[in-house]
Amino acid sequence: IYVYTPKGDIIDLPAGATPIDFAYHIHTEIGERCRGAKVNGQLVSLNHQLKTGEQVEIITVNRGGPSLDWLNPDLGYVNTHRARTKIRQYFRKLNRGNHIAMGREVVERELRRMGVSDRMSFEDVALLFDFTKVEDFMAAVGAGDINASQIAHKVLDDERDRQQQNDIASVVKQSRAITEGSSDIRLNGSDVSGLLYNIASCCKPVPGDDIIGYITRGRGIAIHRRNCANILTTNDRERLIDVSWGDVQQESRYAVPIEIVAYDRTGLMKDITTVIADEKVSISKLSVQQRQEIATIHLQLDIRSNEQLRRILSKIGMIQSVSEARRCNNMI
């Protein structure tokens, strides 16, 4: 593509380039201090994909540097090799203490978004990347060598691998595929034949979550996330039964509650619902609580998979004035 500077100079960039790619093409310092952009005189987001013939103006600050989120491919901020290389070089120059602190913030935020922070430690995540020392792992994340998207993928893959190992180790006496909202689940053990099944409303598991069954009194088997508070605190351990996801159909959807905390402003809900609509996801429930200038928004989304949920939470978390977007167990 060919775009113009405010002075009329022509800049040649690859298709899909963003204002950040443009800024780093002009000069490394412009890229590092970039905080906004105008295209044809109109403010645009930093992950806006530029088109041939557009005039691009970069808004900079006097101090500061790039964000680690710019390296997250799910957010689409950077699409050129030059920009990615320059951003990584910037973070490698920081001292080790800063790397560790920044890395810890990224890992903690990603585990919260994925809803696994209460059962997966920093040590567990570090081992997934073959790091025996947590500080070395955090330093690598803080330096930009490992991004949030890679962390999320590793966590999801680990959950699937552990579930598959459990399935192989079990002697399957009987398997029964059941459907609720077009989602398949397999329950092992001949003693459960003929029971009814349902997705627990307290934790609302989706494909990719580590799940377990609870044999209820008169209501069949309830399918929970293994880290569900009700499962962790139950005294009836003998009622728990191993279950696993079956072959989930592409059109299957699951009701997942999320919580968003943000400074209230005009257009906030529009920005949030635009992200959700772009993923072709429906909102089945919505509630908003306001305290002074802080808005706490609870949504229930009809999600296809954990990967889709992760993308939505990442994009909402980058919306202006949003301080946190995470999965929660229940609508409030």
Q: Specify the number of domains making up the chain.
A: 4
Of 186, 211, 245, the residue that ends a domain is: 245
Any domain includes 332: no
- The answer to whether residues 19 and 88 belong to one domain is yes
Any domain includes 51: yes
Residue 302 maps to which CATH number? Answer: 3.30.70.260
> So what's the pLDDT on residue 113?
80
Strand partners, 256: 301
> So what's the pLDDT on residue 188?
52
Of 181, 216, 245, the residue that ends a domain is: 245
Any domain includes 54: yes
17 vs 208, which has greater pLDDT? 17
Query: What whole-number percentage of the chain has pLDDT above 90?
Result: 27
- The answer to whether residues 196 and 237 belong to one domain is yes
**Residues 303 and 313: beta-carbon distance below 8 Å:** no
- The answer to whether residues 224 and 269 belong to one domain is no
> So what's the pLDDT on residue 30?
93
- The answer to whether residues 194 and 224 belong to one domain is yes
Long-range contacts at 307-310 (CB < 8 A, ≥ 24 apart)? 307/156, 307/208, 308/279, 308/281, 309/206, 309/256, 309/258, 310/74, 310/113, 310/114, 310/152, 310/156
pLDDT, tens only, 200-212: 878 878 777 788 8
Any domain includes 165: no
pTM recorded for the entire structure? 0.44
Any domain includes 229: yes
Any domain includes 263: yes
Any domain includes 141: yes
- The answer to whether residues 187 and 236 belong to one domain is yes
Query: Which parts of the chain fold into alpha helices (H)?
Result: 19-26, 28-32, 81-93, 96-114, 122-128, 134-142, 148-169, 229-233, 268-278, 306-317
Q: Mean of the per-residue pLDDT values for the chain? A: 81
Least confident of 98-102, 170-174, 222-226, 243-247: 170-174
- The answer to whether residues 110 and 31 belong to one domain is no
Domain that holds residue 124: 96-160
- The answer to whether residues 217 and 294 belong to one domain is no
At position 148, the amino acid (one-letter code) is A
> So what's the pLDDT on residue 49?
93
- The answer to whether residues 23 and 71 belong to one domain is yes
pLDDT of residue 308 exceeding 80, the answer is yes
- The answer to whether residues 156 and 185 belong to one domain is no
- The answer to whether residues 13 and 72 belong to one domain is yes
Question: Alpha-carbon Rg of the chain, whole angstroms?
Answer: 23
